[in-house]
Amino acid sequence: MTAGQKHKQPFWNNIKVVPYLYILPNMILFMTFMIIPIFITGYYSLQKWSGMGSPKFIGFDNYSYIFQNEVFLRTLWNTFIFSSTTVPILMVLALFFAIMLNRDMKLRGFFRSAMYMPSIISTVVVGMVFIWLFNSQLGLINYILNIFGFGSIEWANNPKFAMVMVVIGTIWSRTGYNMVIYLAALQGISPEYYEAAKIDGAGGWQRFRFITMPLLNSTHIFILITCVIYSFRSFDLIYVMTKGGPLNATKTMVVYIYDTAFHENYYGRASAAGVILFLILFIFTVIRIKSEKEIK
């Protein structure tokens, strides 16, 4: 080696080990409880297994079965109905309350806390509360309906109204969480935009339409995708309130997976349904990532 030649160090000498040691515990947990179960689910989706004995490889028969099964097709439809109903309402109400609570007003902190409080309450507790509210004999909802001359409704036992009950409970539980996200985005908009618009003679609706809404595009997309993902993953509130009934009227994909695996002991079919759910959520996640990059 000549005098002016630099000594080449091995590449591993340039690797900083400490940052990787910090994230190592989290990566181990992520691999153990997220990545590995995904592959195990894919494996069992190709097997016939009741939870006992050795699995038997049957190829794609589980997928063929569930796509011909009326209950699964009904749960798939219920999931889309539940998502398409709750997501728009959640977004509209969250944006409305965020705009209201972004103004200078008395007890603003109290109202913000009150709106956010339902989102930190256990969904099991929320489900129990709404069961009592919609109780056909003692519930507050039927009591109010009777005051205005309407008859009592068997909410939990009527396939036409059971989904309405679940949707209302979900909206009450999730609106505050989305409101906080909108509120943070609103506070990030410079007041100079609104002041300039006022000088130009723009009214309240014009400021909302041409300033607020465009500047919240990334927030709209974030809340839209996260709400859709949440609606497809929703389980505990639905299971507590209706257990997927009556007559499978409120059974969603996650409830179907749970019942198929732990009540009917068809782990292969449940795994196949889980893989389908994973693919649906994966598509929405990819859309979210790409949309955020395009906006940036």
Tokens of 102: 């972004």
Q: What is the mean pLDDT of residues 203-229?
A: 90
Residue 109 pLDDT grade (very low, low, confident, very high; cuts 50, 70, 90): confident
Q: Are 75 and 88 in contact (CB under 8 A)?
A: no
pLDDT above 70 (res 294):
no
pLDDT above 70 (res 2):
no
Q: Are 201 and 220 in contact (CB under 8 A)?
A: no
- Ordered DSSP codes for 269-280: HHHHHHHHHHHH
Please give the Cα distance from 87 to 218 (Å, whole number): 16
Three-class secondary structure of residue 134 per DSSP: coil
Among 235, 232, 221, 270, which residue's Cα sits nearest to residue 71? 270
User: Taking the model in full, what pTM does it have?
Assistant: 0.85
Q: How many residues does the chain have?
A: 296
- Burial level of 76, CB count in 10 A (0-12/13-18/19+)? buried
Q: Are 203 and 59 in contact (CB under 8 A)?
A: no
Please give the Cα distance from 71 to 248 (Å, whole number): 7
152-205 pLDDT per residue, tens:
889 988 988 999 999 999 999 999 999 999 999 999 888 898 889 888 888 888
Measured distance between the N- and C-terminal CA atoms of the chain, rounded to whole angstroms: 49
Ranges of each domain in the chain: 60-295
C-alpha angle with apex 34: 32 to 35, nearest 5 degrees?
80
Three-class secondary structure of residue 57 per DSSP: strand
Q: What is the mean pLDDT of residues 255-283?
A: 93
DSSP 48: E
DSSP 22: H
- What is the CB neighbour count within 10 angstroms for residue 95? 24
pLDDT above 90 (res 87):
yes
Among 131, 132, 153, which residue's Cα sits nearest to residue 142? 153
Residue 18 pLDDT grade (very low, low, confident, very high; cuts 50, 70, 90): confident
Buried b (16+ CB within 10 A) or exposed e, 23-61: eeeeeeeeeeeeeeeeeebeebbbbbbeeeeeeeeeeee
Selected from 1.10.10.10, 3.40.50.2300, 1.10.3720.10, 1.10.1200.30, the CATH number assigned to the domain covering 60-295 reads 1.10.3720.10
23-59 pLDDT per residue, tens:
889 999 989 988 899 899 999 999 999 888 889 999 9
Spatial neighbors of 232 by CB under 8 A, at least 6 apart, are: 79, 83, 252, 253, 254, 277, 280, 281, 284
Q: What is the overall mean pLDDT for the chain?
A: 88
